[in-house]
Amino acid sequence: MDRDASRLDNASPQRWVLTVETSGNQAYVFASNRLRESVGASHLVLASTTEWLREALEGGPPNRVLQQASGKSFVLFEAAPRSAVEGVVRRLTLKALRDAPGLDLVGAIFPAPAPEASAAPMVDAVLAANRRVEENLSGLPGAIVRHPRLPLTAACASTSAGASELMPRPGEGRGAREQMAVSAAVAAKRRVASAGLKALRSRVGELEGRTLPRDLGEVERLFEGDDTLSWLAVVHADANGLGQAIMNLAAGQSQADYL
């Protein structure tokens, strides 16, 4: 939860901008070199600011989702007490702690300008909420602190974190001798890996007549024991300055048109 802040000019105490954002996404997704865990982690990052946010907003004050993307979303509350908006953040972050241990997710609340104002004050409010997110993140203990190895615990089979439970090894049965110790973060990623792959398949569809595999176990077995398939490439694409380009769209517009 963020600290109280001074209001922007023309800001109403009943109109708020909420931003929720994940941090350290690449470190979280690529914490290990196991495809199953990367797919699951990517799915959790996406769900945290889309599906989970929608659930947290249900039954709350009237709102308008301004932006919803993997790892970052903005919501405008037209008429709500601050405590109600804090309740949304509380429900969302508690779910992340339960269902995605190791994922850093934080919310920030900032007063929004009156609706009759131009677009510029709204841009200022969004930028201020972004700065507040960074401040709130700096005050949170990191995942390593939240999941310590002391007192001594067994090491996770995928990462250097402490193990918290046993899970079947990929492609093997469920016998006791075929299990491996994994951390809470790895276990959460593995549980949603199949759902993550299914979601990817539905979004990507066919690419030049090819489709994504239906089973991650199938992919893992494909790469076992074949030196010609010993490495799998991951392509990461990002667009620098896209957020600033969106902010620049406000020039000369009314607030309603910008939103």
Q: Which CATH number fits domain 11-145: 3.30.70.270, 1.10.1370.40, 3.40.50.720, 3.40.1190.20?
A: 3.30.70.270
pTM assigned to the model: 0.84
Strand pairing category for 179-182 and 165-168: antiparallel
Residue from 99, 90, 100, 94 nearest 24 by CA: 100
Q: Name the percent of the chain in helix, strand, coil, to the closest 5.
A: 45, 20, 35
Give the Cα separation of 192 and 29 in Å (integer): 13
Percentage, residues of the chain above pLDDT 70: 87
Residue 139: Cβ within 10 Å count: 9
pLDDT at position 51 is: 96
Which residues touch 178 (CB under 8 Å, ≥6 apart)? 168, 169, 172
The predicted-structure confidence for 144-197, as pLDDT tens digits, reads as follows 777 777 777 888 999 888 899 999 887 554 444 588 999 999 999 999 999 998
Token output for 118: 């131009």
Which residue ranges make up each domain of the chain? 11-145, 149-222
The predicted-structure confidence for 77-93, as pLDDT tens digits, reads as follows 998 999 999 999 999 99
Sign of the C-alpha dihedral, residues 111, 131, 123, 243? negative
pLDDT over 60 at 75, yes or no: yes
Residue type, 79: A
| C-alpha distances out from residue 236 to 25, 26, 121, 203, 253, Å | 12, 9, 34, 17, 34
